[in-house]
Amino acid sequence: MSDVTATGIREISLVILPVTDQDRSIDFYEKLGLEKRRDDPFGDSYRWVEVYAPIGSTGIAVAPPPAGRPIEPQSTGITFSTADIDATHAELRSRGLDVDEEITRMGGPVPPMFWVRDPDGHSLIVVQPL
């Protein structure tokens, strides 16, 4: 059991992902099936943008990188779940997203999965929980 009382941490609420073009990223995540819930200006020329899956409370903030830092594609570890991996794979391919050619099926305790890459090359995983 975790020590929530002592630390005060209760949940993962947001993951921040650096992107080169927020509008392009919003389009990608909307094609992925997420919805933009926040898009607020801040500072002189910045925007704070958050996208969320329809169910769940953890979001992804798509934000420009810190000044002077290039964006390097990352294997994010961000994982989305679906009830039908085959249908989701086919739908995302039909929407023109950069997804793996095939679904990975390792068997055993590993769920079927495939990777999808955002416009900056960051990889995300889609799984069908066992």
Once rounded to an integer, what is the mean pLDDT over residues 58-69?
92
In the chain, pLDDT over 90 holds for what percent of residues? 82
The whole-angstrom separation of Cα 45 and Cα 120 is 21
**Stated length of the chain:** 130
Would the pTM count as exceeding 0.75?
yes
64-107 residue pLDDT tens: 998 899 999 999 999 999 999 999 999 999 999 999 999 999 99
Average per-residue pLDDT in the chain?
93
For residue 11, the model assigns a pLDDT of 86
Residues 82 and 127 sit within 8 Å (Cβ to Cβ): yes
Q: Tens of pLDDT along 15-28?
A: 999 999 999 999 99
Distance (Å, whole) CA 47 – CA 24: 13
Per the CATH hierarchy, to which homologous superfamily does domain 10-66+73-127 belong?
A: 2,3-Dihydroxybiphenyl 1,2-Dioxygenase, domain 1 (3.10.180.10)
pLDDT score for 4: 66
Residue 48 pLDDT exceeds 80 = yes
H-helix or E-strand spanning residue 89: helix 85-94
Q: Average pLDDT of 36-45? A: 92
- Cβ–Cβ < 8 Å for 127, 113: yes
In this prediction, residues 113-126 reach a mean pLDDT of 98
The pLDDT confidence band at residue 2, using thresholds 50, 70 and 90, is: low
| 6 or 1, greater pLDDT | 6
- Write phi, then psi, for 90 (nearest 5 degrees): -65, -40
